[in-house]
Amino acid sequence: MSVLDDIVAGVREDLAAREAGLPEAALRERALATPAPQDPVPAFRAPGMAVIAEVKRRSPSKGHLSEIADPAALASSYAAGGAAAISVLTEQRRFGGSLADLRTVRAAVPTPLLRKDFVVSEYQLLEAREAGADLALLIVAALPGDELDRLHAAARELGLTVLVEVHDEAETERAVALGAELVGVNSRNLKTLEVHPETFARLAPAIPEDRVRVAESGVTGVADVETYAAAGADVCLVGEALVVGGDPEAAVRAMRAVPTRTTDDLEEATR
């Protein structure tokens, strides 16, 4: 069993417990009673590097990263630094997150929020909407068959913007064919947890210019953001570097200052 398979198995167990405590019909009623989600795409498409700053306590690869006793304070720092969106880990077993963290952050900042989790059912999308998320993550590697298409459609119906995460050429092809507006290239192999930063540069050319290209994993500082920007990234999702760096507001601001490549630049590079 790969690391991803193990994580998803745990997610399904925890999901079943939540479903037993709150029927889907009742959750849907609550979710649809919340304010309509915000659209983060204009900020992602604006000139300069957009940053999705992450509230992340730990990870399967690095273990403990930060206590984050006050997620609201951290999120406020991200917002002050100009984060285009804030990602909140809600998976508990491997990442130490929760929906409570998402609700706490939602109450603290007006910034668009991404529910970062291993989504395998529409119930989780309803949870995301009910807790105040504006975006949801769908990982192609975790959604075989028509599951990706079904959940993408369900998320859009709920008004959620979808970040579709890919790791290789075949997954990128699936995401593009799906019509995903946000395509995130994760340089971390979720089966082995190894990071290969060159993955973004390899896959980015397969993502059409009219989509938003998001670089995920492998960011330790501004230099890595510059590398991703040079390869065509519009957005960088950053977690570990921000929660362990000591000054998240300044770090987000510095990453935002990195210029992105224009369409003319990218066309010239491929000639």
Active site residues: 54, 56, 116, 165, 186, 216-217
Backbone angles phi, psi at 131, to 5 degrees: -85, -5
- Which secondary structure element, helix H or strand E, spans residue 150, and what is its range? helix 147-157
- In sequence order, which ranges of 33-113 are alpha helices (DSSP H)? 41-45, 71-81, 99-108
Rounded alpha-carbon distances, angstroms, from residue 224 to 128, 166, 200, 237: 30, 19, 12, 12
* DSSP summary character for residue 93: T
Q: Which phi and psi (to 5°) does residue 264 adopt?
A: -60, -40
Pairing of strands 135-139, 235-238: unpaired
